[in-house]
């Protein structure tokens, strides 16, 4: 029986900003881009969330909901440094760590002997050290598997621990809303609701063949999670599948020539980012993304033929962008360019730290 802890910092970026500038502590704040430049909210503190301010919301909309909101420009170098400090604390308890983002990770503490192996007490000590050493707070979920540990970490937020013991799983999942299941978003949630499914207990009554019929390969996985079953191990390495860059423009780009010309800057940034991992991965496909002023978006990709080192062909990316834009031929608010990847000859199972970007 595994002992898994999921650590999730509380409004991480915003917490770091409040730590470094105490004048922000009693104010609703958010970290994100400028509202007059189509900025997007990366995160908000709990005071701002009371007004409905959420991550991925436009900064303009956030200010409508909370006119007194203070929007702080992100400082990713600082966040990465704090993330390193998180990571150092985790390693005092286990080396089996799976980072999910700068402020979130799974820890397998099955072999940790501290507190006679009590994962709950280990989680509490980790949280206490984060609070005292880094002056930010984190929440923890403790369970026998990754699915339930992640669910549990959100149960007593902020600054709390929640444990789901093995003997509690059956009763706990019966009342658990299916919206808590990984991969169940709004669309899947509506489809489940049409089947009469609101909770995992409801989901347990649906035959697996029926779930497979409606949800394909994800159907059997839903059936497993409905009972709280999750056999995935905590992985200490992470393999990239793609790398990309995107640019949201202050004003819509309406002219096809300007859209095509904008690809050069994207490609330059993509090449810079890929240079950091080119010894571990090789590109297999190039792709582009176009988001129109109507917020609809489209992507297009192609296999890279010939010498893979020539992936950064500007004419090829411009051709893809032109083809994607011509599907709707509307003003554009965002353009993106990327690569699909596979491990290269020099790729090895190495641990990627929480501050990997």
Q: Is 307 annotated as a binding residue?
A: no
The closest of 218, 221, 241, 216 to 231, measured between CA atoms, is 221
Distance of alpha carbon 16 from alpha carbon 22, whole angstroms:
10
Instruction: Count CB-CB contacts under 10 A for residue 113.
Output: 9
Neighbour-count burial of 306, counting CB atoms closer than 10 A to its CB (0-12 exposed, 13-18 middle, 19+ buried): exposed
Write the CB contacts of 323 (distance below 8 Å, at least 6 apart in sequence).
Answer: 300
CB 3 within 8 A of CB 119: yes
Instruction: Using the CB atoms, write b or e for 30-45: b if 16+ within 10 Å.
Output: bbbbebeebbbbbbbb
End-to-end C-alpha distance for the chain, whole angstroms: 32
* Helix ranges, the chain (H): 12-20, 46-49, 59-65, 76-90, 119-134, 146-153, 169-174, 186-194, 200-203, 208-215, 218-226, 256-261, 263-275, 314-325
Q: Tell me the DSSP string of 290-325.
A: EEETTS-EEEEEEE--S-GGGTT-HHHHHHHHHHHH
Distance of alpha carbon 332 from alpha carbon 37, whole angstroms:
14
* Residue 62 C-alpha from the chain's centroid: 21
Question: Is 331 in a helix, a strand, or coil?
Answer: coil
Q: Is 252 annotated as a binding residue?
A: no
The one catalytic residue among 98, 104, 171, 280: 104
| 104 a catalytic residue | yes
Calculate ∠ Cα 30-35-36, nearest 5°: 155
Show which residues are catalytic.
104
Binding-site positions: 8, 103
Binding-site positions for Mg(2+): 8, 103
């Amino acid at each position: 029986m595994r002992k898994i802890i999921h650590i999730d910092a509380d409004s991480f970026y915003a917490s770091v900003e409040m730590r470094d500038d105490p004048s922000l502590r009693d104010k609703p704040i958010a970290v994100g881009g400028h509202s007059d430049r189509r900025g997007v909210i990366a995160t908000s503190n709990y005071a701002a969330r009371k007004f409905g301010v959420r991550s991925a919301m436009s900064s303009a909309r956030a200010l409508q909901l909370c006119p007194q909101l203070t929007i702080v420009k992100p400082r990713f170098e600082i966040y990465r440094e704090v993330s390193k400090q998180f990571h150092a604390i985790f390693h005092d308890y286990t080396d089996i760590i799976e980072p999910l983002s700068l402020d979130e990770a799974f820890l397998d503490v099955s072999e940790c002997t501290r507190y006679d192996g009590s994962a709950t007490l280990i989680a509490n000590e980790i949280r206490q050290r984060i609070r005292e050493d880094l002056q930010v707070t984190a929440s923890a979920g403790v369970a026998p598997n990754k699915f339930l540990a992640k669910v549990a970490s959100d149960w007593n937020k902020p600054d709390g621990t929640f444990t789901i013991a093995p003997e509690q799983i059956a009763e706990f999942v019966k009342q658990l809303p299916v919206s808590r299941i990984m991969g169940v978003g709004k669309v899947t949630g509506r489809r489940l609701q049409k089947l009469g499914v609101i909770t995992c207990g409801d989901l347990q009554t649906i035959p697996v063949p029926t779930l497979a019929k409606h949800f394909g390969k994800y159907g059997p996985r839903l059936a497993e999670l409905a009972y709280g079953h999750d056999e995935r191990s905590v992985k200490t390495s992470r393999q990239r599948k793609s790398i990309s860059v995107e640019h949201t423009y202050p004003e819509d780009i309406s002219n096809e020539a300007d859209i095509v010309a904008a690809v050069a800057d994207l490609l330059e940034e993509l090449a810079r980012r890929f240079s950091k991992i080119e010894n571990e991965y090789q590109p297999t496909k190039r792709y582009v993304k176009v988001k129109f002023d109507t917020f609809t978006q489209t992507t297009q990709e192609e296999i890279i033929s010939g010498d893979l080192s020539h992936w950064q062909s500007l004419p090829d990316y411009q051709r893809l962008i032109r083809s994607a834009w011509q599907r709707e031929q509307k003003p554009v608010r965002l353009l993106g360019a990327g690569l699909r990847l596979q491990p290269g000859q020099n790729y090895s199972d190495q641990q990627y730290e929480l501050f990997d970007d």
